[in-house]
A and B are shown apart, each in its own frame.
Chain A
Amino acid sequence: MSGFLIVKNIHVDLGEFKIEDITFIVDEKDYVCVIGPTGSGKTILVETIAGLHKPRKGVIILDGRDITSLPPEKRNIGIVYQDYALFPHMTVFDNIAFGLKKRISKKDEILREVKAIAQRLEIEHLLHRKPTTLSGGEQQRVALARALIVRPKLLLMDEPFSALDFNTRTRLRKLVREVVSEYGTTVIHVTHDFEDVWSLARKVIVMYRGRILQYDTVEEVFNRPCCELVASFVDINVMSGIVVFSNDKTIVRVGDIEIVSKDRVCEGHRVKVFIRPERILISKSKPVSKFDNVVRGFIEDLERQGNILRVQVRIGSICLKCISTPNVLGSLDLELGSSVYICFRSSDVRLLVES
């Protein structure tokens, strides 16, 4: 195996929680998000890589060096927590300079470096303050500066934005994306928030009950989940069908309807069909162009969730989840039981051959 971070066959048992047979490789400068339901072992995984828990079995290799039995201080891995974990007895400056002081002794050099990163993260005006007097967003910038200033080989983030409000989170996400790419840092980021995944990650690890279910690119995991568990976790429509025609396009029979996909699968195969809810358009009249899949059904369920509206449309024996906005649905004058057309592109329909 080769790669920047190699986690191979790791087992950790903490009694209440455990992770088993964890294997994955992260390339240099990659951004990997770890998702999964609560209690699936995401934090243990991150803390094991950081060196807090000793694995019962397995190897961790970072940049060609076996770090499995090294203490945390010898690993050169930075960590940022949801609750920031800023040292309350130090000023913001001392918090950021903390790791640097261990590496260099020249005071003016420390001052210069701290100022530079503080400027980049827009916290230069806070350097003399105590962390407890800062807002959540400011505290998280300080935590980020403290971790990044020593230029760690790997940056671990455990739900770094989950304690922040929506606007702060959005702004911080943008900042993290920019700064991480400027510093060329490799990142593993635990999150519950799919927004983090979509706007930051290149790859995703899906964990469940201490095991990795799927590790792939964001595109693959969210459009072609490897199993039912991942599918339900990433909230995608899953159906079973049989390929009835295959040429430059594939036609799959699902229940009473036929669905066109751009994925190539040979005739006669049983396949799983995936369509993301946000890729489905709801329309009152039959649309003229663009969509090569148009099916008629009726609205079975409506549920408002924040700014979006989750709609379930029934087409014979199958039921599809769609996402719309109250605005759209209001203007179309739709309600429960309304007859609608649902439309989606063949390029948004993903197929996976069932074994």
Chain B
Amino acid sequence: MGIQSVQIGFKHICIMTTVLIALILFLSFICLIALPSPKEIIESLKSSEMIFSLKLTLISALISTILVMIVGTPAAYALARFSFFGKRLIMTILDLPIAMPEVVLGLALLLLFGRTPLGTLLEDIGIRVVFTKIGVVIAEFFTALPYAMRMLYSTFETISTRYELVARSLGYSSFETFMKVTLPMARSGIIAALVIAFARSVGTFGTVLILAGGTYMVTETLPVTLYLNMSYGNLGMAITSGLLLLGVSFITIYMVEKFGGRKI
């Protein structure tokens, strides 16, 4: 009896903590939705700044997501399957941006693309990264890559190498095996990685601000719109961009829940 009441007490404290924290978060979302008048939101949505920002956000996020998947899939596969010199160090470096503040990542990229031979070389062949739309994509790419790679890595890790050996024993090369067996088996993890990469790209703020400059109607993505309008005191515009970002987050969580579960 005594032990049971202690357990119930502890259980209740845990549950109450969860409920409380969820409630506070939920109230803040309600404020975002309920405070502005619908008219204000519609007007903000129609403004050329918001249309520009939404377009740039979606297009840049789409491009960076595609790049993340093209680079991240073979990279995560290599880390999950093969052992090679310096693997642990590489894994740490690739994970670092998750723990690193975005502004620091942005600054590091700004220095790399601005002041080094690499930056000059790119500029010579006509690719300007710093304070441009390319910079937006690059900033989003590096911010989203580690998240997608973690997802892909753990997905490949859970697929036994036995499937691959069986496929190869039946005559398929390692690349054919990857395409016909490993990738289809990793399907749900790949979709989850895709969604996470897109959501992180859409929400990237600090890195975009530092590397691409956050210039009005030039390198202005939704988080930048929120920030700029807050500083002008234009709450309607700020809240509208916040709502759009919230929408993306909700869709992301839903998609991850739906596809992220290990079905294999």
Contacts and interface: CB of A to CB of B under 8 A. Distances in A.
Contacts of A147: 166, 169-170
A72 B162 contact: no
A87 B185 contact: yes
A103 B160 CA distance: 25
Contacts of A77: 169
Contact of A50 (B163, B165, B173): B165
B170 A146 contact: yes
B181 interface: yes
Interface residues of A, number: 26
Contact of B166 (A71, A75, A85, A89): A85
B172 A102 contact: yes
A229 B171 CA distance: 39
A89 B173 CA distance: 19
Contacts of A47: 165
B184 interface: yes
B172 to A, nearest CB: 6
A78 interface: yes
Interface string B142-184: 0000000000000000001111011111111110000001001
Contacts of A79: 165-166, 169
Contacts, number: 61
Nearest to A100: B170
A83 B162 contact: yes
Contact of A73 (B160, B162, B172, B181): B172
Contact of A89 (B160, B171, B172, B187): B187
A4 interface: no
Interface residues of B, number: 19
Contacts of B169: 50-51, 72-73, 75, 77-79, 147, 152
A81 B162 contact: yes
Interface in A78-109: 78-79, 81, 83, 85, 87-89, 98-99, 102-103
27 contacts: A50-B165, A50-B169, A51-B169, A52-B161, A71-B173, A71-B174, A72-B168, A72-B169, A73-B168, A73-B169, A73-B171, A73-B172, A75-B169, A78-B169, A78-B170, A81-B162, A81-B166, A83-B160, A87-B163, A89-B184, A98-B167, A99-B170, A99-B171, A102-B170, A102-B171, A103-B171, A147-B170
Given A52-B161, A72-B169, 6 more contacts: A50-B165, A77-B169, A79-B169, A102-B171, A102-B172, A103-B171
Interface of B: 160-163, 165-174, 181, 184-185, 187, 264
Interface of A: 47, 50-52, 71-73, 75-79, 81, 83, 85, 87-89, 98-99, 102-103, 146-147, 150, 152
